[in-house]
Structure 1
Amino acid sequence: MSGKPKLHYVNGRGRMESIRWLLAAAGVEFEEQFIETKEDLEKLLSDGLLLFQQVPMVEIDGMKMVQTRAILSYIAAKYNLYGKDLKERALIDMYVEGTTDLMGIIMYLPFQPPEAKEKNLALITDKATTRYFPVYEKAFKGRISNIPTIKKFLQPGSQRKPPPDEKYIAQVKQIFNI
């Protein structure tokens, strides 16, 4: 595939949001093909396009890539955003893994039963405020939000997705049988 990368995912943040952010940081325009129904997902599966039978999937440079970390690594290396040496790459990987851990606990909260949400929200809030946010607030947030391409991505009207609402949650549950 030549031209713009094409992203295949539901029309929401989820595991694709970090990929959108990285493409924005690189100044790369991309297209999105939203999975809106269970049939859309089944078509990707039956066409054999989803290694490990899961999304997100990104079409880029003639490949159909899955696995968020692999996609992020590829894009970062392709656009020279993966550090100038091994030490910088290790630091980048630590931030990425920390973000992945944090998103892993946050992302599933809306899909939990109502009785579990309050208890889990308190645990997530505690972990986020004591373990993760201090790391990002030290220097990371200021540096990242001042990159012109990221500033543009954070503006209204960009391809950044809003936080999940009830409609999105219902759609994701239907598509993925949750």
Structure 2
Amino acid sequence: MEQLYAAIRAATRIPADWQLVVDTVVTDLSGKLPTADDVLRAVPAEARQGSDRSQVLHVEPDGSFSVVALISRPGQATSVHDHTTWCVVAVVAGTEYEERFSLDEGERTLLLTGTRTDQAGAVSGFAPPGDIHRVTNSGTTVAISLHVYGTDIARIGNSVRRTYDLSIAV
């Protein structure tokens, strides 16, 4: 896991706008992810078969980034949410289905703007604004993903800016 943190550290030391940081972290992590066993060894035993909470793995001492593991059971989904900062997601095991949304003009309805299905090895990212999304374990096994956030998760509690309990236009 230390090699992963070192790669993120190097990518975040170059002053840049959030999207450039995201692109750099995605490039630097692609093809260099830890194994599922490495991630599972880093989380509490009770979370290894799936958990409703993300597991904090690392907070950089200067607060510049944090890494959490999301271990989800088949069918388990996050709320529809957005973030306070940039995020890079790396799927280590399983399958994750992501739906992206925007708000209609009156901010009363979510509009589906895109979907993607990621398998183990996929690395992607985004920077606010425009990062409203929901992630579902669409596979038949436990899914493991790493989420890198450009903030100190220990200080702010989590990276979610807000959740959306709105109807979704189909």
TM-score (norm 2): 0.25
**Greater share of helix:** 1
TM-score (norm 1): 0.24
Which has the larger Rg? 1
**Greater share of strand:** 2
